[in-house]
């Protein structure tokens, strides 16, 4: 086996023979030129691998528990990564990759050395990252690619065993030759998602919990802010911003005549693209704040497309993905989206050719939504006070049974939060006559004790109360039904 030191010595000799200026390379025969490139590339990979291993050792000697006695700390750096960044001249992210890949190399090497030198001892299991460490050492993947695979695949858990991650890593290493680090990272995350669907739902929930939006006033009176959104709502936000500034960024080339004026206006606007986005965003908030809370939006829905196979949708096993970003989306979120926005069926044949694109199946019309808004008065979830404009229409018959048939009696308004909770956590709503019952999952109520869902509309509540009073006074006949909304 050739050691890194031997490779570097060989390189030094070969480079010395080549001469040291572009003029001397101009005189080289073709084969010498190609050999030179090979030798130098080998040496560079060898240097990268050694840099990573050394960075990992530096990190070990700078462990947080050593405090100011740590190596990096003594040299005046806050972290070993900062020290690697400064010395190697790489980026912050590059330094993190070097240290992380170095740790994989060190862990794999430690176990393999122990097994080799002390076969009699009970050996610890080979780290799952071993294939990645080997690929780095053999020059099959760069440091950046190796770290992309490691970070994308994540850590083993009870449901994703180390062996499964090793297998996925081997598959990714084979693809590495044609993929950039960024593409590998995305592919690795997709493979991870394929290994475990509950993780997709759990991650989605954790990401939703991290969502925040903060705005504060600066000393000069300007308002600044920051926010964080999970992939699916985030994709919606991006699509809105896109819509506001689209023609600026190379926008649509083929446009309808009637859109031309709007697009020209945006392209010729003297404001910066960021300024356009800021102004447009505020305008949307203004429109939203002025909107009638008795209206259920929903006729114009976000341009986020989620793709899922019929098989996954019917079985509930698996997940779908956001069309533009490839991010995984849990089956619960997909069902929520379908419940409130409908579907378009796309049929592919065995060769993956598209043979049919069905018509959009919308579940509730704009008129039916107005009816729901009046009847329910907002989110029907017990204790929730979101008005109709915050709500989506949940279809109480599951998508499988409805096939586009939509009766307003089978719709219930739920705010986005409760709609997601319902689809993700196994709640159910059923209807008996005109009454709606909410059934909790067994984890919350072992006997699934149903809860009554009452309207939030003051008008309907008052009318119901009056009807009951009348019924008590005059047991028969029942009063004429009141007409709402006229
Ligand atoms: Zn629903
Ligand atoms: Zn709610």
**pLDDT tens for each residue of 288-320:** 777 766 666 554 454 567 888 888 888 888 888
pLDDT digits (tens, 9 = 90+) for 92-105: 999 999 999 999 99
Residue 295: the pLDDT is 63
Residue 229 has pLDDT above 90, yes or no: yes
Residue 302: the pLDDT is 47
Lowest pLDDT segment from 22-36, 42-56, 110-124, 299-313: 299-313
Mean pLDDT of all residues in 267-273:
76
Distances in Å between the alpha carbon of 278 and those of 216, 238, 240? 16, 13, 12
Q: For residue 341, how far is its CA from the centre of ligand 1 (angstroms)?
A: 10
Mean pLDDT of all residues in 28-40:
85
Share of the chain above pLDDT 70, in %: 87
Q: For residue 331, how far is its CA from the centre of ligand 1 (angstroms)?
A: 12
Q: For residue 322, how far is its CA from the centre of ligand 1 (angstroms)?
A: 19
Q: For residue 419, how far is its CA from the centre of ligand 1 (angstroms)?
A: 6
Strand partners, 306: 322
Nearest residue to 87 via CA among 77, 102, 101, 100: 77
Omega before 477 within 30 of 0, i.e. cis: yes
Ligand approaching nearest to the C-alpha of 392: 1
483 pLDDT tier (thresholds 50, 70, 90): low
- The predicted model scores a pTM of 0.59
Q: For residue 228, how far is its CA from the centre of ligand 1 (angstroms)?
A: 25
For helices 416-424 and 331-341, the axis angle rounded to 10 degrees is 130
Residue 148: the pLDDT is 96
Residue 256: the pLDDT is 62
Ligand approaching nearest to the C-alpha of 332: 1
Lowest pLDDT segment from 238-242, 266-270, 416-420, 440-444: 266-270
Q: Find which of 16-30, 290-304, 349-363, 462-476 is predicted with most confidence, using mean pLDDT.
A: 16-30
How is residue 215 annotated by DSSP?
E
Q: For residue 337, how far is its CA from the centre of ligand 1 (angstroms)?
A: 8
Q: What residues have CB less than 8 Å from 241, skipping those under 6 apart?
A: 277, 280, 281
Ion ligand 1 contact residues with beta carbon within 5 A: 339, 394
pLDDT digits (tens, 9 = 90+) for 125-168: 889 999 999 999 888 899 999 999 999 999 998 888 999 999 99
Residue 144: the pLDDT is 93
How is residue 52 annotated by DSSP?
H
Q: For residue 94, how far is its CA from the centre of ligand 2 (angstroms)?
A: 44
Q: For residue 391, how far is its CA from the centre of ligand 2 (angstroms)?
A: 8
Nearest residue to 453 via CA among 441, 429, 439, 436: 436
More confident residue, 426 or 108: 108
Strand, helix or coil at 452?
A: strand
Mean pLDDT of all residues in 362-379:
84
Residue 478: the pLDDT is 55
For the chain, give every domain's residue range: 4-196, 225-290, 306-455
Residue 299: the pLDDT is 44
Query: Rounded to the nearest 5°, which phi and psi values hold at 222?
Result: -75, 155
Residue 213 has pLDDT above 60, yes or no: yes
Q: How many Å apart are CA 141 and CA 373, to the nearest integer?
A: 57
Residue 1: the pLDDT is 52
Residue 57 has pLDDT above 90, yes or no: yes
Q: For residue 465, how far is its CA from the centre of ligand 1 (angstroms)?
A: 29
Residue 253: the pLDDT is 47
Q: For residue 45, how far is its CA from the centre of ligand 1 (angstroms)?
A: 53
pLDDT digits (tens, 9 = 90+) for 430-445: 888 788 999 999 988 8
Residue 297: the pLDDT is 56
Q: For residue 153, how far is its CA from the centre of ligand 2 (angstroms)?
A: 35
Residue 350: the pLDDT is 76
Mean pLDDT of all residues in 235-250:
75
Residue 119 has pLDDT above 60, yes or no: yes
Mean pLDDT of the chain: 83
Ligand approaching nearest to the C-alpha of 338: 1
Residue 400 has pLDDT above 60, yes or no: no
Q: For residue 418, how far is its CA from the centre of ligand 1 (angstroms)?
A: 9
Q: How many Å apart are CA 25 and CA 19, to the nearest integer?
A: 7
201 pLDDT tier (thresholds 50, 70, 90): confident
Q: For residue 355, how far is its CA from the centre of ligand 1 (angstroms)?
A: 29
pLDDT digits (tens, 9 = 90+) for 313-346: 888 888 888 877 778 888 888 888 888 777 777 7
481 pLDDT tier (thresholds 50, 70, 90): low
With 0-12 CB in 10 A as exposed, 13-18 as middle and 19+ as buried, what is 463? middle
More confident residue, 103 or 424: 103
């Amino acid at each position: 086996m050739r050691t890194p030191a031997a490779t570097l010595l060989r390189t030094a000799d070969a480079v010395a023979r080549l001469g040291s200026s572009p003029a001397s390379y101009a005189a080289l025969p073709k084969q010498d030129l190609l050999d030179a490139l090979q030798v130098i590339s080998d040496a560079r990979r060898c240097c990268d691998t050694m840099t990573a291993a050394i960075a990992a050792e530096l990190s070990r000697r700078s462990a947080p528990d050593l405090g100011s006695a740590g190596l990096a700390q003594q040299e005046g750096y806050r972290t070993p990564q900062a020290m690697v960044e400064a010395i190697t001249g790489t980026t912050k992210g590059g330094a993190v990759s070097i240290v992380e890949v170095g740790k994989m190399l060190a862990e794999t090497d430690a176990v393999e050395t122990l097994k080799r030198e002390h076969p009699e001892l009970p050996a610890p299991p080979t780290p799952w990252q071993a294939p990645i460490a080997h690929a780095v050492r053999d020059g099959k993947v760069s440091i950046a690619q190796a770290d992309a695979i490691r970070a994308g695949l994540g850590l083993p858990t009870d449901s994703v065993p180390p062996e499964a991650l090793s297998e996925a890593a081997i598959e990714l290493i084979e693809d590495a030759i044609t993929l950039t680090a960024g593409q590998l990272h995305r592919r690795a995350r997709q493979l991870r998602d394929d290994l475990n669907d509950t993780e997709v739902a759990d991650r989605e929930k954790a990401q939703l919990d991290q969502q925040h939006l903060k705005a504060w006033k600066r000393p000069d009176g300007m308002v600044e802010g920051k926010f964080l959104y999970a992939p699916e709502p985030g994709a919606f936000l991006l699509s809105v911003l896109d819509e506001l500034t689209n023609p600026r960024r190379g926008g649509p080339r083929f446009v309808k005549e009637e859109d031309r004026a709007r697009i020209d206006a945006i392209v010729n606007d003297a404001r910066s693209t960021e300024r356009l986005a800021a102004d447009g965003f505020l305008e949307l908030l203004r429109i939203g704040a002025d909107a009638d809370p008795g209206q259920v939006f929903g006729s114009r829905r976000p341009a986020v497309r989620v793709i899922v196979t019929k098989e996954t949708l019917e079985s509930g096993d698996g997940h779908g993905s956001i069309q533009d970003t490839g991010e995984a989306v849990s089956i619960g979120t997909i069902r929520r989206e379908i419940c409130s926005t409908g579907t378009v069926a796309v049929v592919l044949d065995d060769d993956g050719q598209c043979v049919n694109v069905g018509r959009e199946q919308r579940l509730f019309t704009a008129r039916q939504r107005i009816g729901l808004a009046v009847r329910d008065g907002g989110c029907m979830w017990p204790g929730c006070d979101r008005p109709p404009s915050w709500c989506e229409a949940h279809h109480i018959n599951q998508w499988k049974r409805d096939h586009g048939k939509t009766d307003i009696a089978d719709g219930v308004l739920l705010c986005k939060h409760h709609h997601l909770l319902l689809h993700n956590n196994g709640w159910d709503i059923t209807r008996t006559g005109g009454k709606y019952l909410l059934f909790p999952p067994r984890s919350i109520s072992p006997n699934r004790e149903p809860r009554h869902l009452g309207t939030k509309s003051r008008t309907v509540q008052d009318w119901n109360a009056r009807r009951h009073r009348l019924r008590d006074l005059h047991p028969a006949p029942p009063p004429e039904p009141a007409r709402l909304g006229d």
